[in-house]
Structure 1
Amino acid sequence: EGRLKDLAYVKNITSYYSQEINKFIGSNNQYSRSSIGKTDINFTPDVERSFNRGFTSFNIEGKKDKIGNLDTAKAIGKYIGKVAEINLSGRNHHFIQISTKEEIVNGDGLCFFNSRGDIEGFLVNKVEADKDQSLVTIVPNKNIEIKLLTKIYRNFDLKYSKQVEQDSSRRRIGIDFELSETPNGFLLKAKDETGIEVEERAETEKQLAKNTDSYDENLLKQIDKLGNSPFYLMNFKNTTTQKYFLPSSLINSLRRVCSDKIIALRKESYTRKESHFEKTDYPYFTNQLDYKGNVVNEKAKEFYLRHKVEEITYGVEKTNLTKDIILMRSKNCIRYALGQCLIRDKQTPDFDQELFLKDNERTYKLTFDCKNCFMDIQALEK
């Protein structure tokens, strides 16, 4: 569903799948990320809070649940609860109560299926939750007809969308620091997660710290101030023999110089991976291609000829011949979705007939290859 989506959708969905990949890699040591570092986000990804039209494993493990939504082609959002009370009698007392544990705010978009089975939506103008948060009273922005126990869905989550849009995710590289002393001062070593190591020395008079309360914690906080650098602190080790007075300016300088050195070395050591493409002429699995091969230009034709295809018929985009040809072969079957599968279901008498799809311009005939479990869509004349 990534086409023509907004910023919040892209950030939410990519963050969710990135976390799922991290979980898988975390429990399977034979796998690793192709790139280093980690990405920090300040929100919890939730695929039900962005645009989606449901979830399915399709036919990866064989036919299971119906995958079509015959109620609506629109995204209805996340289910939040049912209507518990209605008062739509007057302008000043126009409200509904929803039994839900979800937080609802002014500006949220809610929707439901009305008595005709059509999807209907409204914006929340006012909201008030009871003490235990189990009932939420809302005032819709328009007049609606709704019944008790109607299921309510949220197809626009204002608070969550703002949180996702405002968050700036960052990808950072892990780094270790080790502080030690030298005869004339201090030494800070740094090593990133790929093994690049640098160090920086500071010559200064060594003085014992007068105040050692929270000494280690404060030193760690100072080292960890990596700010807008591309690094995050993985480990810090202090091997100095005494608790010395370490001015913030000294630690900041050592840390900053080490970070800059690693950045410089990373740039110097980076080499772009080049790939060399060699044309092959391995035989294609068939020496004949009909219109379903979708060959519509000379480059595609040259490709198949090179791979030993002898007979090539151009695709419909080039010939414009669509009568009585199969436009699509699909594992998604309308008979199956309607509970009228010729193999799995008991058919009702009204389904002993041909089926068609229709859009604004054309009618398409459906034919069924039940033996191989396919549905074909065939174009008829306009």
Structure 2
Amino acid sequence: MTRLELLAPARDEAMGIAAVNCGADAVYVGAPRFSARAAAGASVEAIGRLARYAHRYHARVYAALNTILFDDELEEACRIITQLYHAGIDALIIQDMGILEMELPPVPLHASTQVHNATPEKVRFLEKAGFSRVILARELTLEQIAHISKETSVELEAFVHGALCVSVSGRCYMSQALGERSGNRGVCAQPCRKPWNLVDARGEKIITGKHLLSLRDLDLSDHLPELAMAGITSFKIEGRLKDESYLRNVTAWYRQKLDAFLEGNPAFGKSSSGRVLFDFKPDPARTFSRGSSSYFLHGRHAGMTSMDTPKSAGERVGVVVRSEGRQARIKAEKELHNNDGITFFTGTGVLGGVKINTVEGDLITWAEPVNLPPGTVLYRNYDHRFEEQLRSSRTSRKIGLKITLEETPGGIGVTGTDEDGISLSMVFPVDYTPARDTEQAARLFREQFSRAGETPFEVTTAETHGKWSLFMPQSRINALRREFLDAFTAHRENVRPVEVRRIGDEDVPYQTTSLSWSENVSNALADRFYRRHGVREIEPAMEVTRDYRGRRLMTMKHCLKYQLGHCPREKKAGQVTGVHSPLPEDTGSAAFPRVTDNTYPAGTTAMDAFPGEKVSPGAAEASSAPWKEPLYLSDGKRKFRLEFNCRECTMNLYHL
């Protein structure tokens, strides 16, 4: 049986526990330092407590220590890794290959998506180098994922939900070049979410003040069966910086989606224990969302961007019929509530917002005056009633447990067997007091042992075997039950499967003998790792050299030519789309064909190698666009050159 894992984010201990309670098979949490979300690191002590809680359900905790490191940080990073191992983490997510040169405890290693894991050759190298799991590039198609799975045997993890980095595998240097806030160091300023002007070589503005690089959020919740069949065993939710409502809602949504798949597919199973008892109905549209996209899972298509706003506009809820001052008549499409947060786009395409004071039928009273012309589409990015539901939720997770009791010469024998087949038998010595009513005495034992309270268990059956003649006060029975359930919890921890680090092959050659700065080698240990694997020429990371002039800062699969309908490779391309614009179906189609070829374009590099995108004859020819190239992104102060590599189907952004 193939075990599938739902992997949820955790900013801290409390959010990690919430994720486990909502059905996560594993959570990932930032290390105290050197996490790709510097603002979302947790203490070693908190991570240890989270691990102990998760392990009750045989769920796992992964620590993300996935920035690149400088030489003067290596000793501290090694010390933190050792502390995390002793705190009980189940694996370490890393980007910096220098970590493999350290004297590490036997903690399993997962290769971060920032390593740019996009080809079978790269994934196979990481597998042989000692990684037990590889987190694939978000830009891959389903066919490419299946091809990698077929050619390798390492565990494969894929992002299925949340924010997308527009630069492939998060390898973006724009923030570093603008203000020395590197995503590779966990402090990205997200300039991709800013408004930019698209300017041509003559200085003419093609688009003004749009969020040209801002992508919609990933949502593959309807594609989990395809991904599982393609070889993905871990389904990852992004969002360590999101709030707890988002975490509960999205984790619950994916738990239910995954369970529905597992129910009809006995070849697959859960990778942790317990059944979630939900007291709310999850719906990702009702918490943070920039709009959804399947990204490149079924090939390139329109509708990937959110150019009007990088914020959460929310779900569409209605249209304005008439508005004046603080009141509006609307045609509602969803039930609205007092204190809901409503958004709308102004005539100039700017996102605005207002809170609802009261709802009386189709009459809305706003918290402040707002001018909304008839026909204005309304969205809701704060659903007050749903948020209250999530905040007060008592959703719990319970492990099924069968208990049998019998009288023995030594006292009361208790045997428990849980849903995983884990069993424990104990005998509790007791002073014998004969029961006046033996059936009532036996029933009292069954009733009290059927109650599991705040423990991780739900007792599905509690039975007494054989002749029963013993009487015991209810308080004493409850004490025995608590002692047994505590012992069973400890027993589950003792028999919990524990993975250890794979031993890597020190002689396996890397795919190339030279590395550019884009491979992010920032310390002597990383340099030694690559040289040990056959690399002879290594250019230091941009964070080390700080040499930006003329450098490529981004490689993107997102393409503005395609979005504007001037793709040389497509007869029919996309359109500029925002949250409030009509979108084409988010699947492969005749206009947006699915990629099925698994060949590799010649001359690809680690930054732009995406197998499966055929090069069409004449693809690099200029399109009949109404502008003069090169094109630039500008905010009025700074300017970046765009290059369209139609051969590789990428758009590159360069520092001038």
TM range (shorter): 0.7 to 0.9
TM-fit CA distance, 1:375: 1.0
Would you say 1:229 and 2:437 are equivalent positions? no
**8 Å contact 1:185–1:205 — kept in the other structure?**
no
3-state SS of 1:142 partner: coil
Select between 139-148 and 257-266 the one with higher mean Cα deviation. 257-266
Distance in 1 of aligned mates of 2:257 and 2:521 = 38
**8 Å contact 1:331–1:374 — kept in the other structure?**
yes
After the TM superposition, which residues 195-206 of structure 1 pair with which residues of structure 2 at under 5 Å, given as runs?
195-198=422-425, 203-206=432-435
Where does the alignment leave 5 or more consecutive residues of structure 2 unmatched? 1-162, 164-238, 573-622
Instruction: Map Cα deviations across residues 113-139 of structure 1 (whole Å, 9 max, x no partner).
Output: 12222211101111123xxxxxx3211
TM-fit CA distance, 1:374: 1.1
TM-fit CA distance, 1:269: 4.5
Would you say 1:58 and 2:300 are equivalent positions? no
3-state SS of 1:155 partner: strand
**8 Å contact 2:406–2:466 — kept in the other structure?**
yes
TM-fit CA distance, 1:180: 5.7
TM-fit CA distance, 1:9: 1.8
Where does the alignment leave 5 or more consecutive residues of structure 1 unmatched? 130-135
Q: 1:301 to 1:235 in 2, by over 3 A?
A: same
Would you say 1:88 and 2:311 are equivalent positions? no
Distance in 1 of aligned mates of 2:287 and 2:532 = 46
Amino acid at match of 1:55: S
Select between 144-153 and 11-20 the one with higher mean Cα deviation. 11-20
Instruction: Percent identity, please.
Output: 31
Partner of 1:317: 543
Q: Which has the higher contact order (CA 8 A, sep 6+)?
A: 2
TM-fit CA distance, 1:153: 0.6
Partner of 1:152: 378
TM-fit CA distance, 1:359: 4.1
Would you say 1:141 and 2:367 are equivalent positions? yes
Distance in 2 of aligned mates of 1:9 and 1:296 = 35
Distance in 1 of aligned mates of 2:652 and 2:493 = 54
Instruction: Map Cα deviations across residues 351-375 of structure 1 (whole Å, 9 max, x no partner).
Output: 4543211247531111112132111
After the TM superposition, which residues 290-329 of structure 1 pair with which residues of structure 2 at under 5 Å, given as runs?
290-329=516-555
Among 262, 267, 292, the residue aligned to 2:488? 262
**8 Å contact 2:405–2:412 — kept in the other structure?**
yes
Partner of 2:265: 28
TM-fit CA distance, 1:182: 7.6
Partner of 1:281: 507
TM-score by length of 2: 0.50
Instruction: Map Cα deviations across residues 307-339 of structure 1 (whole Å, 9 max, x no partner).
Output: 111112223222232222322211111111222
Would you say 1:378 and 2:654 are equivalent positions? yes
TM-score by length of 1: 0.82
Distance in 1 of aligned mates of 2:467 and 2:439 = 16
Q: 1:343 to 1:260 in 2, by over 3 A?
A: closer
Would you say 1:49 and 2:256 are equivalent positions? no
TM-fit CA distance, 1:253: 4.9
Partner of 1:191: 417
Amino acid at match of 1:118: V
TM-fit CA distance, 1:282: 1.3
Q: RMSD across aligned C-alpha pairs, in angstroms?
A: 3.4
3-state SS of 2:647 partner: coil
TM-fit CA distance, 1:10: 2.0
Q: 1:200 to 1:369 in 2, by over 3 A?
A: same
Q: 1:95 to 1:219 in 2, by over 3 A?
A: farther
Select between 186-195 and 61-70 the one with higher mean Cα deviation. 186-195
Distance in 1 of aligned mates of 2:528 and 2:412 = 68
Distance in 1 of aligned mates of 2:565 and 2:446 = 64
Distance in 2 of aligned mates of 1:159 and 1:224 = 35
Q: 1:239 to 1:147 in 2, by over 3 A?
A: farther
Select between 298-307 and 314-323 the one with higher mean Cα deviation. 314-323
Q: Highest CA radius of gyration, 1 or 2? A: 1
Partner of 1:166: 392
Select between 160-169 and 230-239 the one with higher mean Cα deviation. 230-239
**8 Å contact 1:80–1:102 — kept in the other structure?**
yes
Partner of 1:15: 252
Partner of 1:340: 566
**8 Å contact 2:446–2:463 — kept in the other structure?**
no
3-state SS of 2:268 partner: coil
Partner of 2:610: none
After the TM superposition, which residues 65-104 of structure 1 pair with which residues of structure 2 at under 5 Å, given as runs?
65-83=302-320, 85-88=321-324, 94-104=326-336
Among 644, 649, 654, the residue aligned to 1:368? 644
Amino acid at match of 2:259: N
Among 332, 348, 357, the residue aligned to 2:633? 357
**8 Å contact 2:411–2:427 — kept in the other structure?**
no
Partner of 1:133: none
Q: 1:98 to 1:222 in 2, by over 3 A?
A: farther
**8 Å contact 1:178–1:189 — kept in the other structure?**
yes
